[in-house]
Amino acid sequence: MATSAGVQLLGSWCSAFSNRVQLALKLKSVEYEFVEEVFYVNKSERLLNANPVYQKIPVLIHDEKPLCESLVIIEYIDEVWNGNGPSILPSDPYERAIARFWAGYMDNKTRLLSNIAKGKRFFGGEDVGYLDFALGCFLGWVKATEIIGGVKLLDESRTPGLAGWAERFRSHDVAKDIIPEAPKLLELIGYVQEAQ
């Protein structure tokens, strides 16, 4: 089993993609150093060296080796710390293919997937998993968008399955302290607008 020594995450509290990796590390009880990158102001040399291809967070650094792209990092965490806590991806190859497909779909599309959550507590089943992380990381920004736009995106009357899932995910132990609160994000947007 891998040790948690030498694990660093270059990320940001307000980045949904960084939050994904934080969720995975928390589920696996991996201790790590979180390095806040103020990427929306400027990109540090550390980040540019760790991710020269995309120059983006998150980057997980394990034993001095960098890993990039949030969904790729989650699979690495699931493999390396496979003895810690529940699995993030399903064990069955077909179920893994389905999970990878929908995670890729979520990254490509803006449409919400109420049918998948129907009848289950989480996308992962009875507990959170890969797809919950892939989508749940955006919940802070969804709430902020609802406040700015004065519109309910996750409406209990229209998509009760998805709204119920969102509430359960926000309340889950693994998500607390990681998914940012909407007021903080709104304050950040105000900050970003001043800096430009």
Partner 1 sequence: MLMTPLYALRRALLAGFRVEPVLHKSENCIGGERAAVQGTGGGPVRRKSELLQKSNPIYEKVPVLLHNGKPILESTNIVYYIDETFASPPLLPACSYGRSRARFWADFIDKKVFDGGAAIWRSKGDELELAKNEFIDILKKLEGALGDKDYLGGDKFGFLDIVLIGSSSWFPTYERIGGFKIEDECPKIGAWIKRCKGRESVAKTLPEPHKVCELVECSERCMELNE
The one among 14, 23, 50, 68 contacting partner 1 by CB under 8 A: 68
Identify the bridge partners of residue 61 per DSSP, sorted by sequence position.
8, 66
When the beta carbons of 72 and 192 are compared against partner 1, the nearer one is 72
Instruction: Verify binding: residue 67, partner 1, rule CB under 8 A.
Output: yes
3-state helix, strand, coil in the chain (%, to 5): 45, 10, 45
Give the nearest distance from C-beta 181 to partner 1 in angstroms. 31
Contact stretch for partner 1 (CB under 8 A) within 93-101, 117-125, 165-173, 181-189: 93-101
For 7, phi then psi, to 5°, come to -115, 125
Distance of alpha carbon 34 from alpha carbon 94, whole angstroms: 34
Rule CB under 8 A: which of 96-155 touch partner 1? 96-97, 100-101, 104-105
Give the nearest distance from C-beta 98 to partner 1 in angstroms. 8
Rule CB under 8 A: which of 70-89 touch partner 1? 71-73, 75-76, 79-80
Distance of alpha carbon 116 from alpha carbon 102, whole angstroms: 10
Helix (H) or strand (E) segment spanning residue 11: strand 7-11
Rule CB under 8 A: which of 20-59 touch partner 1? 53
Please answer whether residues 33 and 44 qualify as being in contact, where contact means their C-beta atoms are separated by less than 8 angstroms: no
Distance of alpha carbon 181 from alpha carbon 188, whole angstroms: 11
User: Which residues sit at the interface with partner 1, rule CB under 8 A?
Assistant: 53, 62, 65, 67-69, 71-73, 75-76, 79-80, 93-94, 96-97, 100-101, 104-105
